Amino acid sequence: MIFQIILLIMLAYVVGFIYFGLYRNITARIQGRYGPTVYQSFYDSIKLFSKNNTVSYGWMFYLGPVIMATGAVLTLVLVPVFSDSDFLRSVTSQGNLFVLLYLMVLGPLGNALAVGTGGNPFGVMGVVRGLTRLIGLELPFYIAVVGLIIAANSSDIVHIIDVQKTAGLNIINHPLLFIGAMISMVGFFGASPFDIPGAPQEVYSGPRTEFSGKFLALLMSQGSLFAFAKLVLIVDLFLGGADSLVMLVLKTFTIFVAIIFIGIVYGRYKVEQAVDFLMKLPTLIAVLGLARIVWFG
Amino acid sequence: MESGFYGSSLDGNLKCKFEESGLANTHEIMEKAVRWFRSRSIFVVAYGTGCGAIEMPPTFTSRYDAERMGVVGVATPRQADLIILSGYLAYKTLRRVIRTYEQMQKPRYIMTLGSCPINGGMYWDSYNTIKKLDDYLPIDVSVTGCMPRPEAVIDGFVLLQERIRNGEKAGWEKYDENFEFYKENQKRVLGGHIDPSYETDWYNLKSGGKA
Amino acid sequence: MDLASKLEKLSLELVQKQDYLYSVTIDFERLESLLLSFLNEFGYITLDSINCRDDLEDGFFTITYCLQTEERDHVVMIQTKIQRENASLPTMHTIWPQAEIMEREMHEMFGVDFPGHPTLIDFALEYWDNMPPLRRDFDTLEYVNSMNPFREQRNDALDAKEEMKKKREAKKAAKLKAQQEAEAKAALEAQNNPSDEVKNEE
Ligand code: SF4
């Protein structure tokens, strides 16, 4: 099982980094430039891992990225990656949606602790912005998840996937929930218009301002792991999971490209604008979807 | 806190370990690989001194697109590998630049644009600018011109990448070796008003304080 | 212009420098009251700049206040002279807030004192402990050479003038040679096929 977990992390690492390479490449092509190679994120992370670290703010500072990475890896392990195989089934059957929702907030909290120790004003500003945004992001996503739980009558992801096999995909049965969850997913990926915490022109790198070298590499790696986990979660919940590697890559990539295109087209919201928007439109859509499930089945 | 995963290009401890176990060759190969990755991924903090800052945006945006070579701008010196000084430096600026440079993590490189950092350029007789930047900070690549076009800047990037790949002695190593020399020069011109080095380990000041 | 007549009452002369630029010269004692009356009576509400010129030979600074009305169609310069040694001026920051930073700069660059000014601290320079750098008795070149020596010359550096001369001469010689060659060639060709010429003549 340990072997499987390591395999999964490696898979997520590779796929996640290639996705981020693609993200940069596609962005570049849309902006009319050649852009970096697809493997650029690998180069960056290996280079960052090979850098020195002479900054020290005490142990809490070191612990922050580790907490974030823990959250990412746990999420990754608890999300069922392949629907029909026994791959890590013994672990994934332990966790359900509620655990996952808790784990998704673990990262930002660990980050807040570390950045607070660092004491960099831009970092603190970034964390505050991130946590404020989280209030808005979670609302539509949680409502959508609750809707799915009611519809499937279970909070077990494996069961939700199984239900979709007989009753049809959730994206078709509950499109309103899908739209609500997708909008907040754009925010969870840190894409525009919700890229508030690390807004480069406003708070420099935000929470990452004070992190360098290996910590930055760890943050980048956990970011790509986490991104992959979130993509798999969306695929599980709405697209009926994936039974082979090809299907997995195909489905996650579709979602990912959709998020990229949304991110490139829009500019950045201000903090209060973002929360305002998220609390209105996506929440309303998700609530409508929930009402439809509750009253019309 | 020296925590080196090939932290410097010549990590003494690790090399010894590899050599003990008869794997000196492996170490060499790995070092080569790391150098290659370093050359392919350069994070730049562009410190816009002087006139040259105006050439940075075209270098990094759609027209000349330095990102295709892995050269990408970052916001803070902590994350950066390369600092670009684009023109003349007043004493006041030099103070900030030294501080920024010392905040960067090793390996770190400096690239200067224009003739001003080399010999003062057209500000050679100004009472408030320095003439030879290499007296105060180690320069890795100087791109000449007044002002160099983005093509020349990109040529500088290529040269820097080549130097990193070949494992030539970089500026930061010289800075560490001749620390006294550089600090003396800085003190001479800045009158001793240099901000504290950011490599100081504030938590262990009693035990030397050197991080 | 009615400003001229108003100033005449104060026994001052308005001199037109350019079509939008006028100047008034006044002695130091009456400067402050004149500035005040410009602001309150004549409606010159904007202070553009305060400038200082170092007349080292005559031993005084020439101070210029540039003022504008609300219409912004012309500028009036009010000029006065103050002693170079222990120079001091009344501060105007209570009337025009922007004067604070202008006076601060003048204090730094010329060493003019402004009694009552709240922030006479460093402006552009930092920790400057020499003579104010824009005074003309400050020897910039000597200071620069003492602080920043020149880079040593490269050994292969050549004298530009002579090199250019050599280049020009070589160019001239090459041109001459080419001309001669062309002439010789033409003559040779004319010898070899005289038929062409005959044809042309026909
Ligand atoms: S080299 Fe030329 S363009 Fe560059 S800072 Fe000096 S004067 Fe300006």
Structural domain including B164 reads 42-204
H or E, element range at A162:
helix A157-167
Q: Kindly state whether residues B115 and B150 are assigned to the same domain.
A: yes
Cβ within 8 Å, pair C141-B126:
no
Please determine, for residue A120, whether its predicted confidence score (pLDDT) is greater than 90: no
Q: What is the structure's pLDDT at B211?
A: 41
Q: Read off the pTM.
A: 0.82
Minimum-distance ligand 1 atom for the alpha carbon of B147: 3
**What is the spatial distance between Cα B134 and Cα A231, in angstroms, rounded to a whole number?**
50
Residues C140 and C133: beta-carbon distance below 8 Å: yes
Angle at CA of residue C51, ends C46 and C54, nearest 5°: 165
What pLDDT, on the 0 to 100 scale, is given for residue B198? 52
Give the three-class secondary structure for A216: helix
CA C202 to CA C199: how far, in whole Å?
5
C109: in domain = no
If one compares A275 and C202, the residue with the highest pLDDT of the two is A275
CA dihedral for C45, C49, C50, C56, sign (positive or negative): negative
Give the ipTM of the model, two decimals please.
0.85
Q: Does the pLDDT at position A61 exceed 60?
A: yes
List per-residue pLDDT tens for chain C, 202 residues long.
Answer: 688 888 888 888 889 999 999 999 999 999 999 999 999 988 899 999 999 999 999 989 999 999 999 989 899 999 999 998 889 999 999 989 999 999 999 999 999 999 998 888 888 888 888 899 999 999 999 999 888 888 887 777 778 889 899 999 999 999 999 999 999 999 998 888 766 555 555 4
Residue partners of A160: CB distance under 8 A and separation at least 6: A97, A148, A149, A152, A154, A170, A236, A237
B1 found inside a domain: no
What phi and psi, each to the nearest 5 degrees, are found at residue A197? Answer: -60, -40
| Distance separating alpha carbons of residues C92 and B68, to the nearest angstrom | 56
Chain C closest CA to B145's CA: distance in Å? 18
Within a domain: residue B127? Answer: yes
Distance C185 CA to ligand 1 centre (A): 51
Number of domains in chain C: 2
Binding-face residues of C in 99-128 toward B, CB within 8 A:
124-127
CB contact under 8 A, A214 and B6: no
Q: How many residues does chain B have?
A: 211
Mapped onto helix, strand or coil, the DSSP state of residue A191 is coil
Same domain, B30 and B113: no
Place of tokens 């105006």: B54
- How many B×C Cβ pairs under 8 Å? 40
Q: Does residue B210 lie within any of the structural domains?
A: no
User: Is B66 found in the same domain as B15?
Assistant: no
Note whether residue C153 is domain-resident: no
CA distance B46 to B83: 6
Among A34, A46, A56, select the one facing B203 at the smallest CB separation. Answer: A56
> Domain span at residue C186?
160-193
The one-letter amino acid at C97 = P
Residue of B97, B129, B144, B147 to mutate, ligand 1, most atoms within 8 A of C-beta: B147
Ligand 1, CB within 6 Å, residue ranges: B 50-52, 87-88, 114-116, 121-122, 146-147
For A81-116, write each residue's pLDDT tens digit: 887 777 776 676 666 888 888 888 888 888 888 888
Atom of ligand 1 nearest to the CA of B87: 5
* Helix pair angle (A157-167, A97-118), 10° resolution: 130
How many domains are contained in chain A? 1
Kindly state whether C157 is in contact with chain B, defined as any CB-CB distance less than 8 angstroms: no
Probe site for chain A from B14, B79, B164, B203 (most A CB atoms < 10 A): B79
For residues B91 and B130, the answer to whether their CB atoms sit within 8 Å is yes
Domain of A18, in residue numbers: 2-296
Contact A225, A12 (CB under 8 A): yes
Phi, psi torsion values for C113, nearest 5 degrees: -90, 145
Residue nearest to atom 5 of ligand 1 (CA): B87
Residue B181 Cα, ligand 1 centroid: separation in angstroms? 27
Q: How many CB atoms lie within 10 A of CB C25?
A: 15
- Shared domain for B32 and B47, answered yes or no, is no
The 3-state DSSP class for residue C197 equals helix
Residue of chain B whose Cα is closest to the Cα of C140:
B127
At residue C55, φ and ψ (nearest 5 deg) are -95, 85
The answer as to whether C154 is a domain residue is no
My answer on whether B107 and B150 are in the same domain is yes
Predicted pLDDT of residue C196: 57
**Any domain includes B209:** no
Please report the atom of ligand 1 found closest to the CA of residue B88.
5
Q: How many domains does one find in chain B?
A: 2
pLDDT confidence of residue A168: 84
∠ CA A236-A242-A247, nearest 5°, is 130
Q: How far is C141 from chain B (nearest CA, A)?
A: 6
Asked if the Cβ–Cβ distance from B4 to A58 is below 8 Å, we say no
The total of other beta-carbon atoms located within 10 Å of residue C111's CB is 19
Tell whether the model's pLDDT for residue B146 goes beyond 90: no
- Does residue C103 lie within any of the structural domains? no
Is B189 at the interface with chain C, CB within 8 A? yes
Are A247 and A171 spatial neighbours (Cβ–Cβ below 8 Å)? no
More confident residue, C23 or B202: C23
- CA C127, distance to chain mean position in Å, is 26
Q: Which of C70, C7, C22 is nearest to C44 (CA)?
A: C70
For residue C121, being part of any structural domain is answered with no
**Interface mutation target, options A29, A37, A45, A53, chain B, most CBs of B under 10 Å:** A53
What per-residue confidence (pLDDT) applies to B197? 52
Can you spell out the DSSP letters for B96-153? HHHHHHHHSPSS-EEEEESSHHHH-GGGTT-TTB-S-GGGTS--SEEE-SSSPPHHHH
Inter-chain residue contact B131 with C150, CB threshold 8 Å: yes
The backbone region for C13, taken as left when phi is positive above 0, alpha when psi lies in -120 to 50, beta otherwise, is beta
Q: Which of B145, B146, B139 is nearest to B85 (CA)?
A: B139
Residue B7's pLDDT band (boundaries 50, 70, 90)?
very low
Within 8 A of A208 by CB-CB distance, chain B residues are 76, 79
Q: What is the pLDDT of residue B6?
A: 37
Given this model, what pLDDT does residue B199 score? 53
Regarding chains B and C, contact by 3 or more CB pairs under 8 A is answered as yes
Mutate to test the interface with A, among B5, B10, B82, B202 (most CBs of A within 10 A): B5
Provide the shortest C-alpha distance from residue B192 to chain A (in Å). 24
CA of A10 to the centre of ligand 1 (A): 49
Residue A288 has φ and ψ, to the nearest 5°, of -60, -45
In the DSSP assignment, the letter for residue C91 is: -
Strands B82-85 and B141-143, by their bridges, are unpaired
Asked if B134 is an interface residue toward chain C (Cβ–Cβ < 8 A), one would say no
Q: Enumerate helices (H) and strands (E) in chain C, giving the number of each.
A: 6, 5
Average pLDDT, chain A: 86
Q: Is A15 exposed, middle or buried (0-12, 13-18, 19+ CB in 10 A)?
A: buried
Query: What's residue A134's pLDDT?
Result: 87
A58, B41: Cβ pair inside 8 Å? no
B188 and A CB contact within 8 Å: no
Residue type, position B16, single letter:
C
Asked if pLDDT for residue B158 goes beyond 50, the answer is yes
CATH of the domain at B87: 3.40.50.12280
Q: Band the pLDDT of B3: cuts 50, 70, 90.
A: very low
Order of strands, edge to edge, in the sheet holding C60-68?
C14-18, C21-25, C75-83, C60-68, C46-55
Cβ-based neighbours of B7, under 8 Å, separated by 6 or more = A50, A51, A52, A53, B106
Using CA atoms, how far apart are residues C186 and C192, in angstroms rounded to an integer?
Answer: 10
CATH number at residue C62: 3.30.460.80
Residue whose CA lies nearest to ligand 1 atom number 6: B116
| C36 in the same domain as C13 | yes
